[in-house]
Amino acid sequence: MVQARVGAEAVVQTLKARGLRVTPQRCAVYANLLRRTDHPTVEQILNDLNRELPVSSKATVYSSLQALRDVGLVREVLLQEGVSRYDAKVEPHHHFLCDRCGAIHDLPWAQFGELSLSVLPQGLRGVAYEVTVRGTCGDCGGMEA
C-alpha cells in the first residue's frame, strides 16, 4: 500500500497513487500550507497564492483542499466559529487557541502524555482524541480579534 509522505514532493506520488491528477493548483495549495503554521482559512490561502501567481479561484482552493483531505495530506481544523481552517500537519497533535488574536498554535502530541480511552461511559468506544487549550500566546500584542 502507498503511504502518504510529508514534504513538498509527497503530493505528486500521493495524488497519483489515489488516481487523482497532479495539478499546479493542488500543488500550490499544499505547498502553501506546508510553508505556513498558522492554519489559514480558504480566504487566506487564496490571497496568499494570488499574491504570487494570480491564477486561482476560491472554488478551486476548496476543491483542492477537498482532494488533499481525501488523500490524507491535509486536515481541517474546527476551532473558530464560522470558518474552517486547514493544516498540512496530519500527524496527531494538539492545538492551542489564542483568545486574544485568534491564532492557532500546534502543541506536540507528547505534551500531555498518553490519555487512556479504555474506560469511557456507557458503551462509548473511543478511537482518537485531541486536546484543545485556550489562553494567550504572547506572540500577539493582543491587537487582533
Partner DNA sequence: CTTTGTGCAAACGATTTGCAGGATG
Partner DNA sequence: CATCCTGCAAATCGTTTGCACAAAG
> Of the two residues 23 and 109, which places its CB atom closer to DNA in the complex?
23
Q: Is position 16 an interface residue for DNA (rule: CB under 7 A)?
A: yes
Q: How far apart are CA 4 and CA 2, in angstroms?
A: 6
Query: Strands (DSSP E) along 49-115, which ranges?
Result: 75-77, 85-87, 94-98, 104-107
Q: Which of DNA, a copy of itself, none lies near 129, with the C-beta cut-off 5 to 8 A by kind?
A: a copy of itself
In the stretch 89-128, what mask flags binding to DNA with x, by CB under 7 A?
----------------------------------------
Query: What is the rounded distance in angstroms from the CA atom of residue 131 to the CA atom of residue 71?
Result: 24
Q: In sequence order, which residues have a C-beta less than 8 Å from that of residue 5 and are 6 or more positions away?
A: 13, 14
Out of 64, 71, 95, 103, the only residue in the binding site for DNA (CB under 7 A) is 64
118 lines the binding site for a copy of itself (CB under 8 A): no
